[in-house]
Amino acid sequence: MRDGFFRVAAATPQAKVAEADVNAERIVELIKAAAEKGCGAVCLPELTVTAYTCGDLFQSRTLISAAEKALGRILEETRDLDILCVLGMPVAVEGSLYNTAAVFHRGKLLGLPAKSFIPNYSEFYEARYFAPAPEPREVTLCGQRVWLGRKLLFECVNVPELIAGVEICEDLWGPEPPSAGLCKNGATLIFNCSCSNEVAGKAEYRRDLTRMWSGHLMGAYVYSDAGLGESTGDMVFAGHDIIAENGAVLQESRLFDSGLITAEIDLEKLLQERRRNNTWVSARDPGYVRIPFEYKKDTLEGYEPERTFSRQPFVPHDPANRSERCQLILTLQAQGLATRLRHTGCKNALIAFSGGLDSTLAALVTVRAFDLLGLPRKGILTVSMPCFGTTERTKRNAETMARELGVDFKEIPIGRTVTSHFEDIGQDPENYDAAFENAQARERTQVLMDMANQRNGLMIGTGDLSELALGWSTYNGDHMSMYGVNADVPKTLVRHLVRFEAERLGGKLGEALFDVLDTPVSPELLPPKDGEISQKTEELVGPYELHDFFLYHMLRHGFGPGKIYRMACRSFTGEYGPEVIKGWLRVFCRRFFAQQFKRSCLPDGPKVGTVGVSPRGDWRMPSDASAAVWLKEIEEL
């Protein structure tokens, strides 16, 4: 409803078997509760108007008539609520009975999607009562003319990203779920009215099935399950409600609970995901019936998204998952480098070892690669090249880590060489401009490249993804290498990888790694003050956690700066104010566009995540593209 965000609910009333009036009352209560929470849609369980476990009572005209009457009451009592409702009920048409979902909005019955796969195995006997969904046909229910059957799509007129489809319980478990065709024909949101009985281990399977199917569809999936009140003569029902989006569970109910769960889905993200994936095939099957509905203008304008996002989207929140991810990424980096070393026949590697975060990670990865190949670690030469900005702290940490890792270490002061270069080009050594800084970075690169030639070795790049996005590197200085192991790792993740190794390795090496983590990020190109680092990167270009947040959502999902700004304001509440976020977002966009020329000629390096800036991988952009449209959007915030 704004920025593509749309709040949905999955609800489970406590059922009363065969008492449609009681069920209707409880259904209305939940619909009203969902509306009060600002939901644009709510889904309730399969056959919820009558309860699922009515057995042969489904063959009673009395029950079917009571269900229709109850639906009429629900329509009447919710006609003033601007919410799309989906709930299960039996519908008789001529000589057949269908297990359907009534879809309605503001008192208008929009359609009756029917269940396609009718289970008749183990504890299920639905074929005793219900016929499979027919091709779309018009029927009359509650005095309204409406479509019933398969292939029904519900399209919102004034929220074009919102196209909903419905399947019922077993449809998801079948070999060809109807939702696949619905999504290929435009559905971004699938509702499932379900009555899935509970047995040991089924909840985990149901959760995984729903989560993975939402990812397969690149869509949102709202699963509402029947629960308490259903007959326990042969089965037990737990009311396991799930809301999933593109492979992730956003919200999930506790088993054996009634009530509702809500979550905000991002319809814009889902469409972006489909557009960027060229194996996604959209269809326009004329056999699908498209049924329009429309929200009130006031409802849309009054909607305020509440969804927040991880402040560190590149880093798993759960500690166990984070450790597993760190191990995997380190292995990917090491395997990439090992393959390059094996291919080139090189048995030596060289690293500019500053004692900072990035060079530390590069050294840890290189050690892993040499261990994989069975090469002696002494083939790794770490080179400290102190100059005008180097502090004793970083130099000491570099020496300690090299010793504890068992790699070779060499110190080559470059101050005299850089000073001579300043004389050659007429640079005032008291002028701390870009030439003053970059001359040091380029000298370090030249030294390392030449030493790599001497040793028939590979110069390992240390620059990370965040620096590449901001262009915070010296062109043909630290920007260049023979293999860049960190090129796909953002700064926020670099920290966690180094911390993971510090905890794993322990001892004096672990102590040194923890001190690296506590050291301010700096290129150390300007003279220190009182022996301490004077040039702190995040004071100059902004907090990396903000820039990584911007980078992830801009490249991974194609979001514009306005949406990213509003997402960041909600997600970083209490840490950064709106004006601060806006200011650093402006810096990010300006630098990202202006520094593309550095990314257009990146050295090789392994892809380890879903966001990258390599011109041979995820990102191809002209170096002279204009940022004007993006910057204008920021100024208008």
pLDDT tens profile 573-585: 999 999 999 999 9
* 509 marked among binding-site residues: no
Q: For 425-461, how does the pLDDT look when each residue is reduced to its tens digit (9 = 90+)?
A: 999 999 999 999 999 999 999 999 999 999 999 999 9
Phi, psi of 123 (to 5 degrees): -85, 0
**Predicted pLDDT at 359:** 97
Quick one: pLDDT band at residue 105, thresholds 50, 70, 90?
Answer: very high
Q: Answer left, alpha or beta for residue 338, where phi above 0 means left and psi between -120 and 50 means alpha.
A: alpha
Token pair listed for 195: 């009555």
In single-letter form, the type of residue at position 593 comes to F
Quick one: pLDDT band at residue 542, thresholds 50, 70, 90?
Answer: very high
**Predicted pLDDT at 125:** 87
Given 46, 126, 245, 252, which residue is catalytic? 46
Q: For 459-512, how does the pLDDT look when each residue is reduced to its tens digit (9 = 90+)?
A: 999 999 999 999 999 999 999 999 999 999 999 999 999 999 999 999 999 999
**Predicted pLDDT at 531:** 83
Q: What DSSP letter does each residue of 381-439 carry, written as one string?
A: EEEE---TT--HHHHHHHHHHHHHHT-EEEE---HHHHHHHHHHHT--TT--SHHHHHH
Q: Which of 19, 14, 73 is nearest to 44 (CA)?
A: 14
Q: Is the pLDDT of residue 123 over 90?
A: no
- Secondary structure of residue 168 in the 3-state scheme: strand
Q: Which fold has domain 319-538?
A: Rossmann fold (3.40.50)
Give the least confident one: 188-192, 372-376, 615-619.
615-619
Q: Is the pLDDT of residue 1 over 80?
A: no
* 356 marked among binding-site residues: yes
Buried b / exposed e across 117-138, counting CB within 10 Å, b at 16+? bbbeeeeeebeebbbbbeebee
Q: In the chain, where are the structural domains located?
A: 5-301, 319-538
Is there a catalytic annotation at residue 297?
no
Pairing of strands 259-266, 189-194: unpaired
Q: Which fold has domain 5-301?
A: Nitrilase/N-carbamoyl-D-aminoacid amidohydrolase (3.60.110)
* 467 marked among binding-site residues: yes
Quick one: pLDDT band at residue 297, thresholds 50, 70, 90?
Answer: very high
**Predicted pLDDT at 524:** 83
Are 43 and 210 within 8 A, CB to CB?
no
Pairing of strands 163-168, 96-105: unpaired
* 116 marked among binding-site residues: no
Rounded Cα distance between 495 and 361, Å, is: 9
| Mean pLDDT confidence for 75-86 | 98
Rounded Cα distance between 282 and 219, Å, is: 13
Q: Is the pLDDT of residue 516 over 90?
A: yes
* Same fold yes or no, 5-301 and 319-538: no
Q: Please give the distance of CA 244 from its chain centroid, rounded to a whole number.
A: 12
Q: Is the pLDDT of residue 637 over 80?
A: yes
Rounded to two decimals, the pTM is 0.93
* 121 marked among binding-site residues: yes
* CB hemisphere CA count around 26 (13 angstroms): 23
Q: Please give the distance of CA 9 from its chain centroid, rounded to a whole number.
A: 21
**Predicted pLDDT at 122:** 84
Given 85, 115, 245, 387, which residue is catalytic? 115
Given 43, 54, 85, 169, which residue is catalytic? 169
**Predicted pLDDT at 86:** 98
Q: Is the pLDDT of residue 525 over 90?
A: no
Cα 596 to Cα 244, 433, 435, 476, 483: the distances in Å are 36, 22, 20, 14, 19
Are 367 and 512 within 8 A, CB to CB?
no
Rounded Cα distance between 485 and 479, Å, is: 12
| Arithmetic mean of pLDDT over the chain | 96
Tally the residues of the chain: 637
Rounded Cα distance between 87 and 333, Å, is: 50
Q: For 47-65, how does the pLDDT look when each residue is reduced to its tens digit (9 = 90+)?
A: 999 999 999 999 999 999 9
Percent of the chain whose pLDDT exceeds 70: 100
**Predicted pLDDT at 617:** 87
Is there a catalytic annotation at residue 69?
no
Rounded Cα distance between 602 and 162, Å, is: 40
* 474 marked among binding-site residues: yes
Rounded Cα distance between 390 and 380, Å, is: 22
Quick one: pLDDT band at residue 279, thresholds 50, 70, 90?
Answer: confident
* 411 marked among binding-site residues: no
* 352 marked among binding-site residues: yes
* 355 marked among binding-site residues: yes
Is there a catalytic annotation at residue 169?
yes
* 357 marked among binding-site residues: yes
